[in-house]
Chains A and B, each alone.
Chain A
């Protein structure tokens, strides 16, 4: 493995790749720091830019954006009590109180150090486990992949929102949309309605940009006053001391472990990891009473938890071709556009590229630390940009990006429809991640399922007679049982108290 890493780094590394990663990092931090622009939105909007770049430029750029955006979300969370990305929601609880107390610099620095340490540890886990996992995954056949895809979609549907049923509805509709185009086995057209643009299916990137970016713009426009950001407090600019950092190292490492574990599971991304890490840190802290009132430990836990997921979500994506969260769903599309099909064969066919990327991931952690330390003083200017002028500019970028996919206005129409559909889904509580990930996984799932049944002598029993798929099926059924039980338990916890339909007291 070390020799592969060395070969990958030397063959893939170049000044251009490093520069590309650095530019992506800066773009990600700046955009991630802007409230209203999520990490998914950032990556989705900028992905079309990379279609016309070489792999050595495109992928480091996108990975830099991803890392930067997750960290960047902590900046407004600390300075103005508004998370720049959903993954920084837990950071507001202690980051903003610290800022009000005049310790914004300390909060920003502990966030930076926690993020870098967590990301570095997560990257090392990624490097250590992906190749061995890929070696196991290469033994998977169609039945195993079919069950794996169904398992991933079911888990994503179950944990993405408050309703398991809504998640499943979103996932199945997404998979149905994924059926539009040509049947993979026979080549027959399906649901094209005679429209030539539909013969190739629905392009993923415009859907992603629409559902995440345009829907967010519509959500933001609901507010009576847009961009009313409270003033940024300057505060006393004391640095974080070495003793303070040392005192939080245990929390950082424990939260990192939580983030890596959750990030590697499909459907659970940084948005969930930050809360779990924060809750765990509060529970195990010697000073739990400080949480919520300005605890450096709280900021460290939230930021370590969410940044550790960044490399971890790449594990299922690279090994199985299953995106760990919505951002990796976009990254998966970008990888495919570069001719790299994530899955077990990726390590056999493109090991130099993959290990080169691992090297880039390690390097961007160092760049993040250096850039963050220098730029901390400037962050308050970034968060002050009013959303009412920012969001129209983002709209233009969205439309340009969607058009750039294949220079076709049809993709822009898909973007528009995706935006309205995403908005409707958010207003009715239907989670978007199951829909888009199902759209992405529908073709390989269909292939795996149909091939399994076609070549099976036992019909549907093939999923039980093969040991690995039987084991995964058992895990799937247990997982479904837990999700259903959780729903029922939550209803019972509500106490069954009756309220009037209008919710009157």
Chain B
């Protein structure tokens, strides 16, 4: 009897990282002529060129990604004491995926709400909704915190530190 180790998840994660790294490196490489002052790939031989360092790095990320892919495929299926997913790692399976999606949606909507309804209103709604999603069910305390925290931050930033916070287009 041995410990169950999610080797398939580990292999998939490594290959995903490797694929992303390669795509990223290739994308940067292809974007150089368009995004770096009209330079082309010959810039790798010219230290003065603004494209020199990005080309060097994009080549490096492609090489490192290839190494990761190669070593992952070579060792796939083997019990890897060092790389396998362990209990307690961030890479553990997600217990409540809907909760994560809900929180992520809150963050995105909050960003858009900042420019629409302003920081205070958006923050009140965020605290109420997000705490509910995360399982907090004491609505009185949630309401109190939702009122106090944004107002405290407003007074701290705008009245004490003289830092403007986002104002909404609507109010």
Contacts and interface: CB of A to CB of B under 8 A. Distances in A.
B68 A392 contact: no
A236 B100 CA distance: 41
Interface string A195-225: 0000000000000000000100111011111
Contact of A221 (B14, B50, B67, B96): B96
A186 interface: yes
A186 B37 contact: yes
Contacts of B100: 218, 221-222
Contacts of A449: 53
Interface stretch (A7-15, A159-167, A253-261, A277-285): A159-167
A226 B135 contact: yes
A300 B26 CA distance: 50
A193 B34 CA distance: 9
Interface in A418-446: 419-420, 426-430, 446
A223 B96 contact: yes
Q: Which of B51, B60, B81, B134 has the most CB of A within 10 A?
A: B134
A53 to B, nearest CB: 8
10 contacts: A163-B14, A176-B54, A176-B61, A183-B50, A219-B90, A224-B99, A429-B13, A429-B17, A499-B79, A503-B7
A392 B127 contact: yes
Main SS of chain B's interface residues? Answer: helix
Contacts of A351: none
Contacts of A287: none
Nearest to A393: B149
Contacts of B117: none
B170 interface: no
A396 B153 contact: yes
Given A218-B104, A404-B157, A226 B77 contact: no
Contacts of B78: 491, 494, 496-499
A400 B107 contact: no
B134 A221 contact: yes
Interface of B: 1-2, 4-8, 10-11, 13-14, 16-18, 21, 24-25, 28, 31, 35-37, 47-54, 57-58, 60-61, 64-65, 67-68, 71, 75, 77-83, 85, 89-91, 94-97, 99-100, 102-104, 106-108, 110-111, 114-115, 119, 123, 126-127, 130-131, 133-136, 141-142, 145, 149-150, 153, 157, 161-166
B153 A214 contact: no
Contacts, number: 245
A499 B82 contact: no
Contact-residue size bin, chain A (C-beta under 8 Å from the other chain): 35 or more
B13 A226 contact: no
Nearest to B90: A426
A183 B50 CA distance: 6
Interface in A379-400: 386-389, 391-393, 395-397, 399-400
Contact of A454 (B6, B48, B85): B48
A453 interface: yes
Given A166-B17, A224-B96, A505-B2, 7 more contacts: A52-B162, A388-B135, A392-B131, A396-B126, A420-B104, A490-B80, A502-B8
Please name the 8 residue pairs, one residue from A and one from B, whose CB atoms are nearest each other, closest first: A490-B82, A183-B50, A188-B37, A388-B134, A426-B90, A388-B136, A392-B130, A165-B68
A289 interface: no
Interface stretch (A128-136, A240-248, A363-371, A407-415): A407-415
Contacts of B13: 427-429
A504 B79 CA distance: 12
Nearest to A432: B90
Nearest to B2: A505
Contacts of A120: none
Given A219-B90, A222-B99, A185 B134 contact: no
Nearest to A216: B90
Nearest to A167: B64
A427 B93 CA distance: 9
A391 B90 contact: no
A222 to B, nearest CB: 5
A409 B103 contact: no
A227 interface: yes
